[in-house]
Amino acid sequence: MTEVAFHFNAPDKLSYACRLLRKACSNSAQVVVMGTDELMAALDAALWTFSPTAFVPHCLASADTQTLRQTPVVLGQGTHVPSGLPHHQVLVNLGSELLNGFETFEKVIEVVTQDEQDRALARVRWKHYADRGYPLVRHDLNVKA
């Protein structure tokens, strides 16, 4: 069964996602990241520039099959995980809605900022997962700050 981890109190989703994806790549994880079109475009740009000494190999979910297989981080848009993706290890949700297709992944990471609306929408997703018996893990990022 898919494990669901909520990472609460992220200062901002982009910078946190960059650090999270860098760590995931260093651990050889295969990750799909989902969010709005605007957020994924910003993350694509940020992954090229967030650190002068680190690069997170990534591609868009619309890339060809060979590129998708060889790239550890795939960026998707919207709330439906694209079918046919080769990665099913980790799914990161930077959006505010539940992702359709999350149950095909070993782990889901929900990134939640300190914004009250973002937190309220995360509570709805938490309840959805809990009501269906998914194991939930809570990570409060304020503790680490």
Six-digit token string for 116: 């009250």
Write out the residue range of the structural domain in which residue 76 sits.
3-144
Total structural domains in the chain? Answer: 1
CATH number of the domain to which 14 belongs:
3.40.50.10110
Per-residue pLDDT of the chain (145 residues; tens, 9 = 90+): 999 999 999 999 999 999 999 999 999 999 999 999 999 999 999 999 998 888 899 999 999 999 999 999 999 999 999 999 999 999 999 999 999 999 999 999 999 999 999 999 999 999 999 999 999 999 999 865 4
Strand order in the sheet with 31-35: 58-60, 73-77, 31-35, 90-93, 107-113, 3-10, 136-140
Measuring CA to CA, which residue among 128, 23, 26 is closest to residue 79? 128
